[in-house]
Amino acid sequence: MKKVLFILLLAVSAPAFPASVIRSAKEAIKKKSNLEQTAKTLLAEAVKPETPYKDRIECYQLAAECAKGVYDAENMKLYLKQAYDTTKFFNAIVDMYNRIYLADSVARTPDEKGKVQNSNQKRNHDFLLNYRKNLLAGANWFYRHDQYPKAYELFDVYIDAANHPLFEKDQFMQKDTILPMSAYLAVISAQKANHSDGILKYASLAKQAGQKSHLVQEYIVKAWEAKKDTAQWESALWDGLSAYPSHPYFFTHLLDHMVVTGKLEQGLEVVNNMIKVKDEEPLFWYAKSLILLKLHRDAEVVEACDACIHRDSTFTDAYYNKGIAALNLAVTATENASTDLDDPQTAKDLETIKDYYRLAKEPMERVRRDDPENTERWAAPLYRIYLNLNMGKEFDEMDNILNGN
């Protein structure tokens, strides 16, 4: 008698077997009730190592049916023009895809006897194909409403289906002309959602859309930067510079990297190559002046700045670099000047020094006019210029500015 009672207690306390879970799930699906909780139970059952092969497949299949029930309920509200849950509506489609994929994955692997039991393949294919257009509609809806993480999720499922074995015969990659544009929107969504892997996953396909490919490449650079992969980041910058020389992002960031890492000669080579590609671009000439300034090749800095200003007379930074380079030349000339008062060369050297200060005067005064509030940038240089050119009134003004008067 005690043995019988013990067995009964074990039966009562034991967890539900897959068969009972499956029966309960079928009943819930039939009654269209408690579908979300039923799906959770099925998914939990499917991952248990003791769940039999066939039951695992059926658990996933029924979980997909639960998602369909949720979708149908929201769809009916939409049809009746009642308030419906948009997120739940589209999430249900994602759930259908993910759960059918899980069922298909199990079914494609051999069972305990080494046999593959994939009899549901065609049914699953047709089942999911019915919702493919709505999957894309959901992705676009979330994108338009600035819900970028959700938009990416749906774009991801839509695009990724093209590579899934269930849709191999459909040849979506060759026949679905919307895929590249969907990938482009997926990349933008991933960028706005700070999803670096999402950017990298679809960037190549996104470029086929013909929509601002340079922007896609920029996002690739930012993705590698976010992942802290310096080698890939630098490689992506080089790729961007090669493919899109007119887009300043790649040039400026690559050059900044070279300056920071002390690769000045390599940076100068890049600048010279870009000038050969597009001589009329003032940014390239300014960048050349910046690197030459760091290399202390001041006479060449003046030439590069003049080339930049000739192409864009409003380029304030070029005026600044020219002024600083001229001041450097004045300092060098002073250090090398003759100090022998009886030597005629002394007078010539003093005039050369003044010429350099005169050369610095006009561009530095232009910097002041363009950026009058930024006294830290131009007050000290102008102080030196006016001092050495014996411009008393102007010198006193700079002295007052520097002393906060």
Q: How far is CA 225 from CA 66, 194, 196, 236, 379, in A?
A: 41, 12, 9, 10, 38
Q: For residue 126, what are the CA distances in angstroms to 121, 123, 133?
A: 9, 5, 13
Q: How far is CA 376 from CA 214, 305, 380, in A?
A: 37, 21, 7
CA distance 287 to 28: 69
pLDDT tens digits for the chain (405 residues)?
Answer: 444 444 444 444 444 457 788 999 899 999 899 999 999 999 999 999 999 889 999 999 999 999 999 999 999 998 999 999 999 999 999 999 999 999 999 998 877 777 776 778 999 999 999 999 999 999 999 999 999 999 999 999 999 999 999 999 999 999 999 999 999 999 999 999 999 999 999 999 999 998 889 999 999 999 999 999 999 999 999 999 999 988 899 999 999 999 999 999 999 999 999 999 889 999 999 999 999 999 999 999 999 999 999 999 999 999 999 999 999 999 999 998 877 776 778 889 899 999 999 999 999 999 999 999 999 999 999 999 999 999 999 999 999 999 987
Residue 199 DSSP code? H
Distance CA 306, CA 322 (A): 8
81 Cβ partners below 8 Å, 6+ apart?
Answer: none
Q: pTM of the entire structure?
A: 0.81
Domain boundaries, the chain: 15-109+122-130, 140-211, 314-405
d(CA 110, CA 2): 43
Supply 73's token pair. Answer: 């309920």
8 Å CB contact between 304 and 285: yes
Q: How much is the pLDDT for 17?
A: 58
Q: Judge contact between 144 and 120, C-beta under 8 A.
A: no
